[in-house]
Chains A and B, each alone.
Chain A
């Protein structure tokens, strides 16, 4: 039996604390009762006399903070099926899938996820099951159901108010059920009855949602597939802009510098979800290689490629404007399976971040965007002991983020081959 009050001393050649400073060499980190006690070098970290210490020497490896994926859909299957089809599955089946995804993500190195939309009570009940010890999962930051307009994107998950009064009621209902933040769909999206190039809620409604959410000390994140949605979300006081697509209502890609300036000025976070668009491109490319494409599929592929280039370009320009970009995968939406958050982090490097910057976007800044940076995101005394040990040095080659050796969650090494 393992006693969590005992000390754990982890040593490794390198440690990335998440603050962006130089990598610590010959590092040591002391954990106690699921928290970080000391961070330093082999010489500076000391254990109180007489304490029992479990020591783990990871040799020529790197310790980094546990990854934080600020955008997941735990109930997703990631086999390309549409949300309409997914939501037709019974809640019990979706909960089973959510448990599988949670486990997969944890074992891949993600110690916290923010779920940006699930059906009915599925994710809340998953969290209950995790508390009961039925199934393992990363720390869960949950929205429950997204708040959508009638017929709006993700409205099929069960919450679609109209008018500021119903919007406030929806927020209160979600908070009552256990929501940690409120996800809003400020424009349409892939949902067939929605309009991705148009805003959904009025500013009055959006503002009601934000005001009510902030009243409870919780934050909001808004899906924005086009520019007017971003403008409205900013007007209403949203805390994270998801996707943040600079797209006009006629579908043209036009980068709007004044929007980026406002985002930066307000300190709003942007979760650009870039890898999911790469995955969509790659799915069609695979199909092209194997079976060939129809004419409409070919033009779809051309459009997706152009969009992806534009998304990468906007990413760089928003960063130049001073916007804080955070990593959130959007898996298992569409064709993007869970357990591959690293794909999004790598895409941030493709978009111009240094490996170190992308690690921060996937840890410290992701935690900040989830309003959880008081507890997680960096390796420093007092924080929750969520960390990874990876082979190699991800600050030199971001691909090393995939070489996970151990996942430590709350001070305990996760058995990543436990399938029970």
Chain B
């Protein structure tokens, strides 16, 4: 039987602790059980004498915190189907799909996820199964179901409410079921019966949810597909703005400098979800490559997707320039974007203006701060949980090195990720001719 306090001594060429400084050369990390016991220059770190130590050496490689994806939909299949269609599947099947997505995500180097909207109890059940040792997956920050208006975006997942009293009751219900934060849908979205250019909840309703959540020490995040929703969210003191689409009620794109400044002043986090748009474009390009062309309708859809992506990239660039707290959150497996591909989102944030190191922070320490779990994970520091990955290359120079995951550790334990072939099957390929 292994001793309770078994040690692991991890060596690598480079260590990114994600506290903001440059990568450290020739550092070592000592793990005791599930936590980081010591970290520092190689000659200063050692296990206690007579302790049982496993030494793991990764010459030439980079050690960094496990990735944190602040925006996932584990129920999703990522084959382009709409949420309206997905939700018709039985809960048991959605739970199985969620389990598969959880494994794909963990194997890809994501050791923590924040779920942004599953159906009914599915994610609570999956977490139960993981906690009982029946399944494996990343750490989970769960909302249970998103809080939506009647007919609103993702209302079909099971938590439609009206009025501030019902909003409070639903918040309490979700927390009772095990929610770690509250996801609110502040505007419509892809849901057929919803209106993406319009706000959903009234301000008193939104405020009721945020107040109630805060009472229990829980954070909130709102889906905002148009500017009105952003404005309401800021008034209601929401902690994270998701999508953050600057769009007027008539559908025209209009970057709202004033709102962006208020986001900055109120120190809110932004999760721009860029790649989910690109994934839609890629799906159409794959279709075009396969069929040798697109129907007019598909072509129009692709053109629109490209235009939207361009606008959103540009808005993201402005927000990054303003120094706003922009976080990696993939939005996978929504529509065409499959879990296990979080890096595509970080890559776009780097394209939009982040340095590669800022990209790394946006998917590790900054993400942990945005989820209120930075006391547990997000950096490699003494006392933190030993969630880390071993990467071939240096993601602080080239963000795409984040694809080259060699090992994943969660709570000090090495994850058996299975055959290389199965791991490779998780990555969604970009089309032959990328736009």
A binds B: yes
Interface status of A45 (Cβ within 8 A of chain B): no
Whether A90 contacts B422 by the Cβ 8 Å rule is no
CB distance from A102 to the nearest CB of B (A): 11
Whether A125 contacts B425 by the Cβ 8 Å rule is no
B interface majority secondary structure: helix
Chain A neighbourhood of B426, CB < 8 A: 420
Interface string of B100-111 (1 = CB under 8 A from A): 100110010000
Binds A, one of B124-132, B195-203, B245-253, B347-355: B124-132
A134 to B93, CA, bound (A): 9
Interface status of B376 (Cβ within 8 A of chain A): no
Interface status of A121 (Cβ within 8 A of chain B): yes
Whether A419 contacts B418 by the Cβ 8 Å rule is yes
A77 to B132, CA, bound (A): 11
Interface status of B91 (Cβ within 8 A of chain A): yes
A126 to B92, CA, bound (A): 8
Interface string of B346-375 (1 = CB under 8 A from A): 000000000000000000000000000000
Interface status of B297 (Cβ within 8 A of chain A): no
Nearest-CB residue, chain B, relative to A95 = B92
Interface status of B233 (Cβ within 8 A of chain A): no
Chain B neighbourhood of A132, CB < 8 A: 77, 93
Chain A neighbourhood of B92, CB < 8 A: 91-92, 95, 121-122, 125-126, 129
Interface status of A167 (Cβ within 8 A of chain B): no
Chain A neighbourhood of B417, CB < 8 A: 419
Interface status of B322 (Cβ within 8 A of chain A): no
Interface status of A96 (Cβ within 8 A of chain B): yes
A126 to B122, CA, bound (A): 15
Given the known interface contacts A121-B90, A134-B96, the answer about A420 and B104 at a Cβ–Cβ threshold of 8 Å is yes
Nearest-CB residue, chain B, relative to A91 = B92
Whether B134 contacts A420 by the Cβ 8 Å rule is no
Q: A99 is contacted by which of B90, B91, B96, B128 (Cβ under 8 Å)?
A: B96
Given the known interface contacts A91-B91, A419-B103, A419-B422, the answer about A96 and B126 at a Cβ–Cβ threshold of 8 Å is yes
Q: A93 is contacted by which of B100, B104, B125, B418 (Cβ under 8 Å)?
A: B125
Whether B122 contacts A92 by the Cβ 8 Å rule is yes
Interface status of B167 (Cβ within 8 A of chain A): no
Interface status of A41 (Cβ within 8 A of chain B): no
Interface status of B435 (Cβ within 8 A of chain A): no
A99 to B136, CA, bound (A): 13
Whether A415 contacts B422 by the Cβ 8 Å rule is yes
Chain A neighbourhood of B425, CB < 8 A: 420
Q: A415 is contacted by which of B77, B126, B419 (Cβ under 8 Å)?
A: B419
Complex interface residues of chain B between 118 and 151 (CB less than 8 A to chain A): 121-122, 125-126, 128-129, 132, 134-135
Complex interface residues of chain A between 93 and 114 (CB less than 8 A to chain B): 93, 95-97, 99-100
Whether A77 contacts B418 by the Cβ 8 Å rule is no
A419 to B426, CA, bound (A): 11
A91 to B422, CA, bound (A): 28
Q: B134 is contacted by which of A93, A126, A417, A419 (Cβ under 8 Å)?
A: A93
Whether B418 contacts A125 by the Cβ 8 Å rule is no
Chain B neighbourhood of A121, CB < 8 A: 90, 92
Interface status of A135 (Cβ within 8 A of chain B): yes
Whether B100 contacts A134 by the Cβ 8 Å rule is yes
Chain B neighbourhood of A91, CB < 8 A: 91-92
Interface status of A296 (Cβ within 8 A of chain B): no
A417 to B417, CA, bound (A): 8
Given the known interface contacts A96-B99, A99-B99, the answer about A128 and B422 at a Cβ–Cβ threshold of 8 Å is no
Interface status of A418 (Cβ within 8 A of chain B): yes
Whether B93 contacts A128 by the Cβ 8 Å rule is yes
Whether B97 contacts A100 by the Cβ 8 Å rule is no
A312 to B122, CA, bound (A): 45
Interface status of B433 (Cβ within 8 A of chain A): no
CB distance from A134 to the nearest CB of B (A): 5
- Between A and B, 17 residue pairs with Cβ closer than 8 Å are A77-B134, A90-B125, A92-B121, A92-B122, A92-B125, A95-B92, A99-B96, A125-B90, A126-B92, A128-B90, A129-B96, A132-B93, A134-B96, A134-B100, A419-B418, A419-B422, A420-B425
Excluding A99-B99, A126-B96, A129-B93, 4 further A-B contacts by CB distance (< 8 Å) are: A91-B92, A122-B92, A135-B96, A420-B418
Residues of chain A at the chain B interface (Cβ within 8 Å): 77, 90-93, 95-97, 99-100, 121-122, 125-126, 128-129, 132, 134-135, 415, 417-420
